[in-house]
Amino acid sequence: MALETNRRTFLSYAALSALAVVASGSLAGCGTQTKLTASAASSSVLPKYIPLKGVTPDLAGTAEGVPAAFFNYPAKPFRSVPSAFMKGKKVTAITNIFGPPPTAADSNPATQAIFKRLGGTVDITAVSSDDYDTKLNTVIAGGDLPDLMLNDGTAIPDIIGFLQSSCEDLTPFLAGDKVRDYPNLANIPQAFWKPTVQNGKLYGIPIPRAMTGGSGFINQTFFEEAGVTDTSTIKNADDYLALAKQLTGGSRWALGSTKFGLLPFHHIFHVPYNWTMKNGKLIKDIETAEYLESISFVQKLYAAGCYAPGSEGWTKSQMSNAFISGQVAQIYDGLPAFGKPGGYQQTVPAANPANKVAPFLPFSAKGGKAMVWLDNIDFAWTMVKKGSADHIKLVLQVANFLAAPFGSEEYLLMNYGAEGADYTRDDKGNPIPTPAAALDTAVPWRYLAAGPNTLYSPQFPDAIKVLHDAYTKLVPIGVADPTQGLFSPTQAKQGLTIMKPVTDAVTNFIAGRGSLDDVKSAIANWKSAGGDTIRAEYQKALSGATASPSPSA
């Protein structure tokens, strides 16, 4: 479950009097994320970024993907879609849903209000996230496709073939200045459109997230007592090792994360995000010297007693509880865990008022510029069935409505329901839910299209400031995976299976039950067991994508 929630956060705001952190298209991380594609996303293919002049955030976002932040919902929401446009027509869609079924459309005041604003209807087939891949492939096999189809990045084996045969190339409709016809879509920065570029063409509508999940969290009080106020200023790995030893003692350990919490150390040692390209050849992260250096450093930390005993086997709840109680000074968890209701921003000081928590900002193990992974760019993206130009424009107008940004009337309606029936507003304009809101607002509009990510808190502006500052520092140093968005049949069938001996060997090595040579042997076996085949499949897909001509804008 990720930070950028929308509906769940909203309900918790009133029910728990807790922090509400909201983003366009909520529940990021509850499903599979589609990330940056390897396709050649030239400027001639991408829609031009044209920011809307709607409401002014308390903390501005950036074109690179840093989310804007609001401390209160704007008292006077603006209308981003001037009038109804569907003229009684219907658009169909299929997407996933993570919670209970919503109130039926004919008795749902929020849905009826949305249909009135649209001037038509959207018939959504909402499928449990656990069953979505199977259902989507069944629909594809049947040939009766809906207009909008969520692509969660795992469902379709031959994604390029399916896009070419059955989905609309949106380049002629949205590329460059053409996106001006859809102002809410134009308001989405180009970074979030890149994953929708496949085979040199624009094939989808993005559902933006926050670009990166970050590098975990620290007990800021413990680190300050050890003389470190900003972890990004740590000079190198040796200095961090000395710090970790200083943080360990008595009933407290510097570290304690499920499976050793390796990701921050991959960031520190500049391990590629899954794959990297060197001299035209794809190299897997585990094949790099940086990977071996990172796990060797973690082994050194473990041998020095800096990890809580047995913490590599902790459940996430055990890890969180150990961090909240002050048993460990640093853990790996995604940035969303900071400000959500019941998140670390509240629970750590609640357990001990003297303790503060902050995101861990990575440094470079050998000095120089730090790095983080861009592992949370989009939740997914939505494909559009082929059709006449007029119908495609209608579907895109619907997507434009769904991508209404925070602060708009449409956003308020889709995320909080119908005023009176689903919410009232406090003296500052923040929506307060009624008992009916939970199911009335459960319609998965946000899993078809969404506007830019937004941070929002009516009660805890300090948490929003911390998160906004973290994203501001992390997004510019992010690196992406060149294969994400591409499909490898071998990876889909046996990728996890052939990787397990490597992760087992790494675990044993760090815990002192194996050697680095065992890890190297496991990596060699990965290559022969299918890793090289996966590489070749990605390489072929990558070559096809980059070799394709990019249509002019």
Query: How far is it, in rounded angstroms, from Cα 417 to Cα 109?
Result: 7
Q: What percent of the chain has pLDDT over 90?
A: 82
Query: How far is it, in rounded angstroms, from Cα 291 to Cα 303?
Result: 18
Give 43's pLDDT tier (boundaries 50, 70, 90).
low
Query: How far is it, in rounded angstroms, from Cα 346 to Cα 355?
Result: 11
Tally the residues of the chain.
553
| Dihedral angle sign, alpha carbons of residues 147, 148, 152, 158 | positive
pTM: 0.87
Instruction: Give the pLDDT confidence of 310-340 residue by residue, as tens digits.
Output: 999 999 999 999 999 999 999 999 998 998 8
Instruction: Give the pLDDT confidence of 494-509 residue by residue, as tens digits.
Output: 999 999 999 999 999 9
The per-residue pLDDT for 541 is 82
Q: Which residues contact 121 (CB under 8 A, 6 or more apart)?
A: 86, 90, 91, 105, 115
Instruction: Give the pLDDT confidence of 156-173 residue by residue, as tens digits.
Output: 877 888 999 999 999 999
Lowest-pLDDT range of 5-14, 114-123, 353-362: 5-14
Query: How far is it, in rounded angstroms, from Cα 510 to Cα 347?
Result: 30
Q: How many CB atoms lie within 10 A of CB 10?
A: 28
Residue 340 · residue 5 · CB < 8 Å: yes
Q: Which residues contact 36 (CB under 8 A, 6 or more apart)?
A: 194, 195, 374, 377, 480, 481, 482, 484, 485
| Number of DSSP helices (H) and strands (E) in the chain, helices first | 20, 19
State the SS3 of 300-355.
Answer: HHHHCCCECCCHHHCCHHHHHHHHHHCCEEEECCCHHHCCCCCCHHHHHHHHCCCC
The per-residue pLDDT for 5 is 31
Higher-confidence position of 62 and 28: 62
Q: Angle CA(130)–CA(136)–CA(142) in degrees, nearest 5?
A: 140
Residue 453 · residue 208 · CB < 8 Å: yes
Instruction: Give the pLDDT confidence of 69-114 residue by residue, as tens digits.
Output: 999 999 999 999 999 999 999 999 999 999 899 999 999 999 999 9
Instruction: Give the pLDDT confidence of 415-472 residue by residue, as tens digits.
Output: 999 999 999 999 999 999 999 999 999 999 999 999 999 999 888 889 999 999 999 9
Q: What is the CA radius of gyration of the chain?
A: 24
Is the pLDDT at 413 greater than 60? The verdict is: yes
